Amino acid sequence: MVKLHVKKGEESQFLFETFVESDIANVITEVTTIFNGRLKVGRVCNEIECLAKHGTCLPPNMMGLTEEQVLELKLIDEWGDKCIPSGGYTLEPDPLGRRNGKKPNEKMQDVLNKTVSEAKAMTSKVIEPALSQLWFSGKEMLPDKKLKDYVGKNEKTKVVVKIQKRGHGAPSREPVMTEEERKEWMARAYHRQEELKVM
């Protein structure tokens, strides 16, 4: 077994377990699918939180406009009339101008916020319950593949995967030692150098 520690910059994202014999292309596809799925859940959670604070989205032609501009252009929020929160609403204008300001009542806000917190908790633990569905089930190594196409031979191998935007070059390397270890090592090297000078 190999555990991949997937990071974005220095921020830890999740651990991914796979087999040593797994094809690198398949591993990259699986890791990317999980990473993108987590991003999608995060975006949906963010939109639901905004819905709870400021109501439904305005039509694209009204987003970012002031009330005066909307009146001047004679625009109508057709979505707001169709999507009235059940149980009523209170007005809470959106400072970004993306939403209609019809905030749902407290009971509905609690439902939305509880759903968001449950979804975030599930994505932080996504690896454990999904092991049987997402991870590789076999250890077959294809005979026509070269050894370099696989993660490695050692079952204690640790691979750090860093996600980088396309066109931004290779991600920075993981530091060999922490800042504390580096300072300690430098102090020992300095003392050793001083001892050698005395000798």
- Residue 198 counted as domain residue: no
- Residue-averaged pLDDT of the chain: 76
Count of domains forming the chain: 1
Residue 125 buriedness (CB in 10 A; 0-12 / 13-18 / 19+): exposed
Q: Tell me whether residue 17 is in a domain.
A: yes
Q: Give pLDDT, residue 160.
A: 61
Q: Is residue 197 part of a domain?
A: no
Q: Which residues, in sequence order, are bridge partners of residue 150? A: 23
Show the beta-strand stretches assigned E in the chain: 2-8, 11-18, 89-91, 102-104, 158-162
Has residue 171 been placed in a domain? no
100 in a structural domain: yes
CB atoms within 10 A of CB 111: 13
Structural domain contains residue 170 = no
| Rounded mean pLDDT, 60-68 | 87
Confidence of residue 137 (pLDDT cuts 50, 70, 90): very low
Taking only the tens place, the pLDDT of each residue in 87-129 is 888 888 888 888 888 888 888 888 888 888 888 877 765 543 4
In the chain, pLDDT over 90 holds for what percent of residues? Answer: 1
Q: Does 91 fall in a domain? A: yes
**14 contacts 38 by C-beta, under 8 angstroms:** yes
> What gap in Å lies between CA 91 and CA 22, rounded to an integer?
55
> How much is the pTM?
0.56
- Is 79 domain-assigned? yes
Residue 12 DSSP class? E
Domain that holds residue 111: 2-162
